[in-house]
C-alpha cells in the first residue's frame, strides 16, 4: 500500500501535470485565436486593398471615357456644321437648304458623338418666312423619314410658338409671323425665326418640336443671342467658327415634351445642349466677315453619356455632375446609370475617394457655366 507521503507526491504531480496541460491547451487556443485574428485582419486588408485598387482602375477608366466623349461631342457638331457650310457656301441659298444624305450621316455622327439628337435649324429672316415655309413642307412631304403632317400644330402649318399666357393648351399654339419674343429680353427681337428643320432622332419627343421657333423660348433663345453676339464680335469668320461653339448649362427634363412640361412633372432626365453656329464668309467694307446663317445643335442626355463608362459587373458608384448653378447624381447599377435626382447624393463617408475631372478644360468652346464630374464609391462597392 502507498504511504501517505507517496499519495501526497502523486497528487502534487497530478496537479502539476493538469496545470501544464491546461496552460498548453490555453496557449493553443490563444495562438489559434491570434492566428485567426491575424488572418482575418490580413484578409480584410487584402479585400480592402483589392476594392480600392479596383475602384481606382474603374474610376480612372470612367473619367478618361467621359473626357473622350465630351471631346467627340464637340467635334461631331463642328463636323456637321462644316458639312452645311461646304454644301451651301453661297449665302443667297439660305435659308432654303437641306443637306442631302442627312439621315444617313447624322445618326452615325450622333452615335459617335454620344449625342441624343443632332438638330439643324436655319436662321429665317421674317421677309423670307413664307418662301421658307413652302420649301420646308415640300421637303417634309418628300422625305420618308418624316411622318405625315410633320411640322403641324393645333395652329395649323407654319413656324410656330407658344403663348404661355393662355390656360388652355390648344390655345397656346400660334403661327409665329413676327419673331416677337415675349418671354425674355433680347436685342434680336422681331429679327428672325429659328425652326428645327432636320434632326437625327425623330420620335414622340422630338417630332412635335419641328418648326418650333426656338428663339421664342426663354431657355434656348438667350443661348442663340449669346452665339450671335460672339460671331458679330469676332474679327473674321474663321475665328467665329473656332471660338463661338456654345455649351449651355444643364436642363432638367420634366415630362415627355419638355417645351410644355413644368417642374411639377416627374424628372425624366437631364440634358445639356451644345450649339455650333454655321458661319459663312461675307464680303464687307471692312473685309471678309462671318455671318451666321443657321445653327447645328446637339442634345446630350447624361444617362446616354454615362452608359458603358464602367464595366457591367460594377455597381455602387455615384457620379455627381456639377455646374455653376446646380448638380445632379447618377448611380451606376451593373454598369448602367440610374438618375437619383437633382443635387449631390453621394455618401460623404467616402469623400477621400473622390475622383474628379473638369470636363471642359482645354476644349474649343465657350460657356457661362462650369462642368465638373466626380465619382465616389458606396459601402456596397
When mean pLDDT is compared across 153-157, 252-256, 286-290, the lowest value belongs to: 252-256
Strands (E) across 307-354 are located at 317-323, 327-333, 336-342
Q: If DSSP codes are grouped into helix, strand and coil, which group holds residue 193? A: strand
> Which grid cell is 24?
498548453
The secondary structure of 5-37 as a DSSP string is HHHHHHHHHHHHHHHHHHHHHHHHHHHHHHHHH
Q: What is the pLDDT of residue 35?
A: 60
Q: What is the pLDDT of residue 7?
A: 54
pLDDT at 263 over 60: no
CA angle 213, 214, 220 (to 5 degrees): 160
> Which grid cell is 179?
419673331
Instruction: List alpha helices for the chain, DSSP H.
Output: 4-87, 102-112, 129-142, 169-172, 220-232, 237-243, 302-306
- For the chain, the straight-line distance linking the first and the last C-alpha, in angstroms and rounded, comes to 75
Q: What is the pLDDT of residue 24?
A: 62
Mean pLDDT of 79-103: 96
The secondary structure of 89-108 as a DSSP string is --GGGTTS---TTHHHHHHH
CA angle 33, 38, 44 (to 5 degrees): 125
> Which grid cell is 155?
395652329
Only one residue has cell 449625342, namely 115
pLDDT in tens, 172-193: 999 999 999 999 999 999 999 9
Mean pLDDT of 237-262: 81
When mean pLDDT is compared across 11-15, 164-168, 288-292, 373-377, the lowest value belongs to: 11-15
Q: What is the pLDDT of residue 312?
A: 87
pLDDT in tens, 136-170: 999 999 999 999 999 999 999 999 999 988 888 88
Specify the DSSP element, H or E, that contains 309. none
Beta bridge partners of 264: none
Q: What is the pLDDT of residue 374?
A: 96
CA distances from 341 to 157, 303, 354 (A): 38, 12, 19
What confidence tier does 6 reach under pLDDT thresholds 50, 70, 90?
Answer: low
Q: What is the pLDDT of residue 254?
A: 84
**What CA–CA distance (Å, rounded) separates 80 from 72?**
12
What Rg value do the Cα atoms of the chain yield, rounded? 33
What confidence tier does 2 reach under pLDDT thresholds 50, 70, 90?
Answer: low
Q: What is the pLDDT of residue 243?
A: 93
- Higher-confidence residue of 201 and 213: namely 213
**What CA–CA distance (Å, rounded) separates 140 from 136?**
6
What confidence tier does 33 reach under pLDDT thresholds 50, 70, 90?
Answer: low
User: Is the Cβ–Cβ distance between 381 and 55 less than 8 Å?
Assistant: yes
Q: What is the pLDDT of residue 28?
A: 64
Domains of the chain, start order:
64-306 (3.30.450), 307-377 (no CATH)
Specify the DSSP element, H or E, that contains 347. none
Q: What is the pLDDT of residue 176?
A: 97
Mean pLDDT of 315-340: 93
Specify the DSSP element, H or E, that contains 183. none
> Which grid cell is 151?
411640322
**What CA–CA distance (Å, rounded) separates 228 from 96?**
20
Mean pLDDT of all residues in the chain? Answer: 87
pLDDT at 64 over 80: yes
Could you tell me which residues come within 8 angstroms of residue 168 by beta carbon, excluding any fewer than 6 positions away?
Answer: none
Query: By percentage, how much of the chain surpasses pLDDT 70?
Result: 84
CA distances from 225 to 117, 191, 311 (A): 22, 11, 41
Task: Provide the sign of the torsion angle of the four alpha carbons 157, 162, 167, 169, taken in this order.
Answer: positive
Q: Residue 360: name the closest of 285, 300, 288 by CA.
A: 300
- Higher-confidence residue of 241 and 4: namely 241
Q: What is the pLDDT of residue 239?
A: 93
When mean pLDDT is compared across 21-25, 64-68, 178-182, 256-260, the lowest value belongs to: 256-260
User: Is the Cβ–Cβ distance between 373 and 359 less than 8 Å?
Assistant: yes
User: Is the Cβ–Cβ distance between 207 and 153 less than 8 Å?
Assistant: no
**Alpha carbon 102 to its chain's center:** 23
What confidence tier does 52 reach under pLDDT thresholds 50, 70, 90?
Answer: confident
**Alpha carbon 362 to its chain's center:** 18
Q: Residue 294: name the closest of 278, 273, 282, 281 by CA.
A: 278
Query: By percentage, how much of the chain surpasses pLDDT 90?
Result: 64
Q: What is the pLDDT of residue 164?
A: 86
Amino acid at each position: 500500500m502507498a504511504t501517505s507521503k507517496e499519495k501526497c507526491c502523486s497528487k502534487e504531480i497530478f496537479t502539476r501535470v493538469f496545470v501544464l496541460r491546461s496552460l498548453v491547451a490555453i496557449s493553443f487556443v490563444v495562438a489559434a485565436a491570434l492566428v485567426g485574428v491575424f488572418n482575418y485582419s490580413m484578409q480584410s486588408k487584402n479585400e480592402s486593398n483589392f476594392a480600392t485598387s479596383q475602384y481606382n482602375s474603374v474610376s480612372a477608366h470612367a473619367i478618361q471615357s467621359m473626357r473622350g466623349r465630351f471631346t467627340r461631342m464637340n467635334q461631331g457638331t463642328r463636323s456637321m456644321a462644316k458639312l452645311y457650310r461646304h454644301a451651301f457656301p453661297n449665302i443667297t441659298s439660305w435659308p432654303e437648304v437641306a443637306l442631302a444624305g442627312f439621315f444617313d450621316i447624322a445618326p452615325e455622327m450622333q452615335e459617335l458623338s454620344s449625342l441624343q439628337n443632332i438638330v439643324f435649324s436655319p436662321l429665317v429672316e421674317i421677309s423670307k418666312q413664307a418662301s421658307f415655309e413652302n420649301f420646308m413642307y415640300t421637303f417634309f412631304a418628300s422625305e420618308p423619314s418624316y411622318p405625315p403632317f410633320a411640322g403641324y400644330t393645333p395652329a395649323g402649318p407654319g413656324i410656330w410658338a407658344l403663348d404661355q399666357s393662355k390656360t388652355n393648351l390648344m390655345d397656346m399654339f400660334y403661327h409665329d409671323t413676327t419673331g416677337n419674343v415675349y418671354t425674355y429680353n433680347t436685342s434680336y427681337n422681331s429679327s428672325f425665326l429659328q425652326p428645327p428643320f432636320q434632326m437625327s432622332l425623330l420620335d414622340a419627343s422630338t417630332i412635335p418640336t419641328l418648326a418650333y421657333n426656338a428663339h421664342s423660348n426663354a431657355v434656348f433663345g438667350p443661348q442663340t443671342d449669346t452665339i450671335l453676339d460672339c460671331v458679330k464680335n469676332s474679327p473674321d469668320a474663321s475665328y467665329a467658327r473656332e471660338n463661338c461653339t456654345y455649351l449651355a448649362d444643364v436642363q432638367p427634363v420634366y415630362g415627355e415634351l419638355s417645351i410644355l412640361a413644368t417642374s411639377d412633372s416627374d424628372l425624366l432626365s437631364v440634358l445639356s445642349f451644345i450649339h455650333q453656329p454655321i458661319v459663312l464668309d461675307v464680303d464687307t467694307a471692312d473685309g471678309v466677315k462671318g455671318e451666321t446663317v443657321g445653327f447645328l445643335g446637339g442634345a446630350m442626355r447624361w444617362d446616354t453619356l454615362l452608359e458603358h463608362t464602367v464595366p457591367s459587373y460594377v455597381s455602387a458608384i455615384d457620379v455627381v455632375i456639377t455646374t455653376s448653378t446646380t448638380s445632379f447624381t447618377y448611380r451606376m447599377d451593373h454598369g448602367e446609370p440610374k438618375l437619383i435626382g437633382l443635387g449631390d447624393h453621394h455618401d460623404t463617408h467616402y469623400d477621400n475617394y473622390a475622383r474628379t475631372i473638369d470636363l471642359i478644360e482645354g476644349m474649343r468652346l465657350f460657356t457661362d457655366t462650369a462642368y465638373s464630374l466626380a465619382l465616389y464609391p458606396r459601402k456596397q462597392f
